Chain A
Amino acid sequence: MKNERPETGGFFQRDRTWQPPAFSPGYKSTVVRSPQRAPVSFGNTLTEITGPVFGRSLLGPLDNDLTVNYAKPGESAIGPRIVVYGRVLDENARPVPNVLVEFWQANAGGRYRHKKDGYLAPLDPNFGGCGRTITDEDGNYWFRTIQPGAYPWPNGINDWRPAHIHFAIFGHGFVQRLITQMYFEGDPMIWQCPIVRTIPDRKAIEGLVAALDMASTVPMDARAYKFDIVLRGRRSTLFENKLEGN
């Protein structure tokens, strides 16, 4: 790690007109799970500015390869082989290094390895559906997986989720914590999805669509999708009268 003074500035206010509102009746589950009163704000304290960090010793060698991390030895998951890569940045466009990125997804048929998923598509005995990695010094991450399938879900009579990968990202402060979903370039299902449509701004949705990157493919092996993630940025302490530390 670089020997830098830890950042201690407060985080920029979250743009609640950009983020999906809690109450989004097109996505029916939000109706009784959405707070109705305004959330309360106060300036960030150390509780918000600090957050847990995870060392690379946490990671096993297969943690970022979903094609084999649940498979029997010598076998691998069924489906289009892909690499997903990108950077974790903050709103100041600076990389967020050394943060844990976790991901989970359905299999190539659109079925999750979960008791509550009763979709007709079969489980893949070689696919668990979870993985994790830690960003490098420049905020880069990557993992290998199979492209998940679309699937129907109980909301309207005939609603389908576009193919997607769930992401959970830690920042350096606990209030940077973010969960989102990555979609795939060119998928017409994206624009019909009630969960996608909880996001009011089309540009914000486009920010969730990973680009096919033929230049980063692994020839004769896997295509590549690039997905950058932006976490909340923090105020610089440059202009403060009293700098902390040395």
Chain B
Amino acid sequence: MVQSLPRLKETASQTAGPYVHIGLTPNYCDISGVFPEDLGARMVDEKTKGERVTYKMRVIDGTGSIVRDALIEIWQADAAGLYNSPSEPRGKADPHFTGWGRQASDKETGVFTFESIKPGRVPFTNGRLQAPHVSIWIVARGINLGLQTRMYFGDEPEANAADPVLTALEHQNRVPTLIAPRTGDTYNFDIHLQGEKETVFFDV
């Protein structure tokens, strides 16, 4: 026998289920009066620095159907590339930008809309700059453990071509699954859970 290591196991995940919005966006599902507003609904205010942009995301299942009962959270740096977090060691982020957003989808179209700003660049572990990106977490009925992915910006071809995460992907033909094309001020990003166009998910 040897001494045991003082470690615990992570609590097992369980699906967020079909009623996740009761807990995380109650006002969206007509439970009003408990919380004044749904948390994460607003990421910016009138003083936020940076270029205002909109992300329009959809989640699509293995049959090609739009998933309408999911919930998406995003996390991104401010315009200067700093995270609004106590774990950010490089400096203080824009206090007018939360960096974190949470949305349910439009009940008709299944589109998740985030009003945000385009993030600055953040270094990789080796100090090399990453392309601007948004970290994404998806939970829903039928998803046992929240899925992690990233959205990169379609109008940043040079940064994307040199990004340490994108360039390290074994299957380079899957890189486009992580890049959102830009139309006007909007980036459209479809997340395919399964199938030919399956989005690259991360275990990080």
Interface residues of A (CB under 8 A from B): 6-8, 13-16, 18-22, 24, 27, 29-37, 39-54, 58, 60, 62-63, 69-70, 89-93, 102-104, 112-117, 128-132, 166, 168, 172-175, 177-181, 195-196, 198-199, 201, 203-205, 207-208, 229-233, 244-245
Q: Give Cα A20–Cα B201 distance, bound, in whole angstroms.
A: 16
Would you call B19 and A112 a contact (CB within 8 A)? yes
Does B88 reach chain A (CB closer than 8 Å)? Answer: yes
Check A70/B33 contact, CB under 8 A, given A27-B142, A51-B87: yes
Would you call B147 and A179 a contact (CB within 8 A)? no
Interface locus among B46-54, B109-117, B192-200: B192-200
Does B162 reach chain A (CB closer than 8 Å)? Answer: no
Q: Give Cα A29–Cα B141 distance, bound, in whole angstroms.
A: 7
For B144, give its contact among A27, A36, A114, A230 (CB under 8 Å). Answer: A27
B12 CB → nearest A CB, Å: 4
Would you call B19 and A103 a contact (CB within 8 A)? no
Q: Give Cα A40–Cα B178 distance, bound, in whole angstroms.
A: 12
A residues in contact with B17, CB < 8 Å = 166, 181
For B145, give its contact among A22, A117, A172 (CB under 8 Å). Answer: A22
B67 CB → nearest A CB, Å: 7
Does B24 reach chain A (CB closer than 8 Å)? Answer: yes
Q: Give Cα A166–Cα B23 distance, bound, in whole angstroms.
A: 8
Q: Which B157-204 residues have a C-beta within 8 angstroms of A? A: 164-165, 168-170, 193-195, 198-204
Would you call B15 and A195 a contact (CB within 8 A)? yes
Q: Give Cα A173–Cα B130 distance, bound, in whole angstroms.
A: 18
B residues in contact with A19, CB < 8 Å = 10, 12-13, 144-145
Secondary structure type dominating chain A contacts: loop
B63 (CB) vs chain A CBs: closest residue: A32
B165 (CB) vs chain A CBs: closest residue: A42
Would you call A174 and B135 a contact (CB within 8 A)? yes
For A47, give its contact among B39, B135, B146, B193 (CB under 8 Å). Answer: B135
Q: Give Cα A34–Cα B193 distance, bound, in whole angstroms.
A: 6
Q: Give Cα A129–Cα B140 distance, bound, in whole angstroms.
A: 18
Would you call B11 and A116 a contact (CB within 8 A)? no
Would you call B139 and A179 a contact (CB within 8 A)? yes
Q: Give Cα A118–Cα B36 distance, bound, in whole angstroms.
A: 27
Would you call A43 and B194 a contact (CB within 8 A)? no
For A32, give its contact among B26, B34, B62, B150 (CB under 8 Å). Answer: B62
